[in-house]
Amino acid sequence: MGSQKRIAKELAELVESPPQGIVVRLADESNLYAWNVYMDGPADSPYYQGKFLLNLSLPIEYPFKPPTVNFKTKIYHPNVTNDDKGSMCLGMLRADEWKPSSRIHAVLEFARQLLAEPMPDDAIEGRIAEQYKNDRKRYDEVAKEWTRKYAIES
């Protein structure tokens, strides 16, 4: 019960003054625990001009348990799984790293930062991380291609 108040408060804050390049909506007006996040690709990244849809789902125990973030739009990124789940590997979202004082605002900003600067040492897709480290040009190309294919509506 306590979680609802805090979630509503955070949602109101995020809707009122959203972080740069991020728009937050409830996926379903009657459910506070599932959010849709629309994220613009950062300007100096291969994801530029892409519009990525993320699902952010909050546990009932929030803020004592961390939320989970999934990319619904396919993305070529070392820290996002390349399947239909699109799970994102964020250090602060691990159960033992999460603190109740962390805010969704920070989570979203961190996620967007990860688009600008992937963390290949903390990767979930080893192959992409390898490519990011060794063949940056090719990585940029593929990421741009995927962004054009999946994240830019025409």
Partner 1 sequence: MASITLEELLAMETACDRDEIVDLRSLETVSNYDDHLMCPICRCPFVRPVRLQCDHVFCQKCLNSAITALAASRDDFTCPTCRTPTRGFYLNVPRLLVNMCDDIRVRCPFRDEGCSEIVPRGHVQSHVDKYCGYRLVDCPDNSCSKKTRKKDLSPEGRCLHELHRCLRCDDYIMEQDYEEHVKELCPSLKTNCPDCQTSVFRKALREHIDTCPEVIHPCAASKYGCPVKVKRAELMTHEKICPLIAMGPYFEAQNARLDSLELTIRHLQQRNEIFEDGIANIRSTLVQSSRALTEDDGPPSDVHTLPTSNPDIPRRRDSSNNQSQIDSSNLYTATTTNYLLSLHESLREEVGQLSHAITDLDARASMAIMNECLRLKEDMAHTNAAVGSMRMQVQWLMNPRLHQGQRTGARPNNAAGGNGTPAASASGPSTAAGPSTAFLRPRRLSDSGREGTKL
Residues in contact with partner 1 by the rule CB under 8 A: 2, 5-6, 9-10, 61, 63-65, 99-101, 103, 154
Q: 30 or 154, CB closer to partner 1?
A: 154
Q: Among this protein's residues, is 50 annotated catalytic?
A: no
Phi, psi of 100 (to 5 degrees): -60, -20
Active-site position among 37, 58, 80, 89: 89
- Residue whose tokens read 């789940």: 85
The smaller minimum CB distance to partner 1, of residues 74 and 103, is found at 103
**Strand ranges inside 3-133, DSSP E:** 22-28, 31-40, 51-57, 68-71
CA distance 105 to 56: 12
Q: How far apart are CA 148 and CA 153, in angstroms?
A: 8
For the CB of residue 22, give the shortest distance to partner 1 in the complex, in Å. 19
Query: Which of 43, 152 has the CB closer to partner 1?
Result: 152
DSSP state of 80: B
* Positions marked catalytic: 89
